[in-house]
Amino acid sequence: MLVNQRTVARSGSISGIGLHAGNECKLTFVPAPVGYGFKFVRTDIDGAPEIPALIDHVVDINRGTTLGRGDVMVHTVEHVLSAMAGLQLDNVRVELTAEEPPVLDGSALPYVKLLQKLGFEDQGEPKRFLEIDKTIIHHDEEKQVDLVIVPSDQFRVTYMIDYQNPALGTQYTSLYDLEKEFAREFAAARTFSFLSELEELHKAGLIRGGRIESALVIIDRELTQEGLDDLCRRLKVPGDIKVSKSGILGEKLVRFPNEPARHKVVDLIGDLALLGMPIKGHVLAARAGHAAHIMLVKKLHKELQKKRLQQRYQVGTTDRYVFDADAIQRILPHRYPFLFVDRILELVPGEWVTGIKNVSVGEPFFEGHFPCQPIMPGVLVVEAMGQVGGVLLLNTEANPDDKLVYFTGFDKVKFRKPVRPGDQLFIRVEMFYYKRGICKMKGRAFVGDQLAAEAEMQAVVVDR
């Protein structure tokens, strides 16, 4: 696996028809500086607006991955992204003269060949990787989709598809070495579609640029020659088209015995590029597609955000917690005797956080509350929940060091169990609303497995 960032050595172009829009498009790969990443640039629009190829800019995953920024969009970007990521490029400007890259032969291979022809330039700066250090899972019970990433010293993929169709059946494939295998064994695998899907897409006004040579069409219903001829007329397919013995429309040769499974790997690599950096991990996929890929990338993005926060605030690394007391004091403005969180155990930015407060007999409030029967004041238990929530909320902001959290309201506050010296409060806070610095969270504090207090909290983020 390469260790330095790289870009293309020179610019180069390729032209063709977009799959769904059906418009002619010229795509140009342009060298880009260190840290630029992948960006799509609409040169057909005044000002040549740029759209970073990042998960935050995914606006649609219907039959492909669409990126958008404001009113500007680029459709079906996964094959272009796969070619760049599969060749281990890091920084490329992709200029387009229309809203959708050319579909070409339905694979990533034409883009790979062009990039190889342009050559690569080592940029002398180290690559950044997301190293998977724990198992990450996406599971969809209804669709029987499973995506799992386990730790590995390099990027690997094992992919299984399982369609109830004799032309496909169950197919497996594995990629173990991106540098050695991607261009030779995977890039040429073409996109595929079932005939019924093709007809629905055509009715919806899509695949206007699709051609019989740019996809594998799998027959999934009874089709007479008369019906086939009618279909070809409606889809404007020229020539005498036959259904092959393998159940594929047309007599074309399948490039690999498991070409559909290999194309799923191509799509996965393209979608994973939306993380903004390569990963070191082994992806295990079953019956997945773009929607599941994007959900997995969102989970990886949360993990990446957490690691960046740890690098920013936590001195030393650990797999037992996220922030220790020193790191917490770098995030929150509170200090003794009004700091009521000792450690952050888990953090999913923008979603939820868990932390602990060790309740010592030496806490100053026990002197007066109450001398004969020390109990932690309920308002301070709520304050501890608020401080744990503050760690979550501040790390939702772009510049948390310049911000403060003010709580504006508490609802449904309930105290279930007294908190006494020697207890350890386990606090979980979940965010269920956030917009323009205004937040709503629900907090719960436990002693052991018993609920001690709960509350709904409203807060606002202000400049420090």
CA neighbours closer than 13 Å in the CB half-sphere of residue 161: 21
Question: Quick check: 190 and 255 in contact, CB under 8 A?
Answer: yes
Find the catalytic residue in 75, 290, 293, 301.
Answer: 290
Burial class (CB in 10 A: 0-12, 13-18, 19+), 36: middle
Encoded tokens for 43: 């040169």
User: H or E stretch including 178?
Assistant: helix 178-181
Q: Is 290 a catalytic residue?
A: yes
Could you give the count of Cα atoms lying within 13 Å of 437 in the half-sphere of its Cβ? 12
138 is annotated as an active-site residue: no
Cis peptide leading into 426, omega within 30 of 0? Answer: no
Kind of pairing, strands 192-194 and 216-218?
parallel
- The 10 Å CB-count burial string (b at 16+, else e) for 251-271 is eeeeebebbbbbbbbbbbbbb
First to last CA, the chain: 44
SS3 percent helix, strand, coil of the chain, rounded to 5, is: 25, 35, 40
What is the distance between the alpha carbons of residues 82 and 183, in angstroms, rounded to a whole number? Answer: 10
The span from the CA of 90 to the CA of 121, in Å, is 11
Q: Please spell the DSSP secondary structure of 119-150, one letter per residue.
A: -EEEEEEE---EE--S-EEEEETTTTEEEEEE
Catalytic residues: 290, 369
